Amino acid sequence: MPEPLRLGIAGLGTVGAALVGVLQRKHDFLAQRCGRPIVIAGVSARDRTRDRGLDLSGVEWFDDPVALAQSAGIDVFVELIGGDEGPAADAIRAALRSGKHVVTANKALLARHGVELARKAEDKGLLLNFEAAVAGGVPVIKAMRETLTANTIQRVYGILNGTCNYILSEMEATGADYADVLADAQRLGYAEADPTFDVEGFDTAHKLAILTSIAFGCRISVDDIYVEGISNIASADIQAAAELGYRIKLLGVAQRTDTGIEQRVHPTLVPLEAPIAQIHGVTNAVAIDADIVGRLVMSGPGAGGEATASAVAGDIADIAKSRPGHQQAPALGTPARNLTPYKQARMRAHAGGYFIRLSVNDRAGAFASIASRMAQEGISLKSIVQHGTSAAKEDAGQAVILVTHTTTESAIRAALKNIDVDGHLVSRPQMIRIES
């Protein structure tokens, strides 16, 4: 019988415990599919006394994940600790130095150090697999870096955070305000006690940075992503969008432009008939526009122990199936030494339609003045609708909804600045991009 693939698993939280369960339940099935057994040789976690409901008898315990990563008793180091620095980063670097393949679900670490780690792995002929780092159980990484190798990708975008998608879905379904739905999400365990990383778009940005590198063959550049979250989305925006034939989603979007690569994370109006508009709850979805295959849309569970463990197990199985001397696809799709520098597009030059909600003083000539200011910036209005009183409890202005034809963000911002100077606004305007 072929030699088993020996794993060292660092981190026995929700995902780590689920992975151990999957590997134990599926031991014989995986051995048959991979051509060799996969065994857990060592584990590391902060508390060895905690009852995780796992049978770890015969498995060596390491208090230090770096020691596990360097152990001669493992072939693959599986990092499920989390964090972009500290033990996770130290242990992965140690594993690569020691000649161990690495599997990780750590999006934050990859967004910061992915290029460095990919190069270290490739220089040693090792595999660095991270399917679970983006979109949970949706196999988008493998599809982009292997299946779509012959394609030139023009745009990749998607719903990459289940917490935000759940909140927006519930706001639409119930008519409740953001704060109330967030509180429910926290009670249900869909949102953290401090939800900032999710709801302000940073989690999505980390995942988008990884997808951007694979899609366009450039170095990861998470700090160059334009980021807006969903905390300023009101139920009035959800309602008005629905009446106009749209649904609001938090999207991460990366695309080629004439000025470079545009990366942005923000709430977006998408047509109700678009496939991505049909993604509800904690589900994730990724759409890829490419020259040969056209548009490819994948969706599935974006988080949770079992879904993430499925992706991690798939990465492990790929290593089990590999043979010495047969190098698989580079970690980021393009060899790390060939990745091009990231060239950031001018965000303010982004062109598209816009949804604008204004709370306007109820005075003669206000609407005409607003339309005039829009026209001065060359903005053509597709529709203008008055909604009576504003949804904001602290003001009593008239709610006015504008939908523009394709224009630039710089023009919209200039027009809104002038409208504010004219004294027509009761509160800060709401501006949401429309994605075709």
Active site residues: 207
Q: Scanning the structure block, which residue is given the tokens 């529709």?
A: 383
Q: Is 396 left (phi over 0), alpha (psi -120 to 50) or beta?
A: alpha
How many other C-beta atoms lie within 10 A of the C-beta of residue 436? Answer: 8
Rounded distance between C-alpha atoms, residue 52 and residue 24, angstroms? 14
- Residue 115 structure tokens: 């290029």
CA-to-CA dists, residue 23 to 101, 132, 147, 309, 390, angstroms:
18, 16, 26, 9, 55
Structure letter (DSSP) for residue 52? -
Contact of 236 with 401, CB cutoff 8 Å:
no
- Residue 402 structure tokens: 């504008």
What are the backbone dihedrals phi and psi of residue 95, each rounded to the nearest 5 degrees, phi first?
-65, -45
Distance of CA 246 to the CA centre of its chain: 22
Contact of 234 with 391, CB cutoff 8 Å:
yes
Q: Which residues of 415-430 are buried (b: 16+ CB within 10 A; e: fewer)?
A: bbebbeeeebbbeebb
Q: Is 76 left (phi over 0), alpha (psi -120 to 50) or beta?
A: beta
Rounded distance between C-alpha atoms, residue 323 and residue 380, angstroms? 60
- Residue 74 identity: I
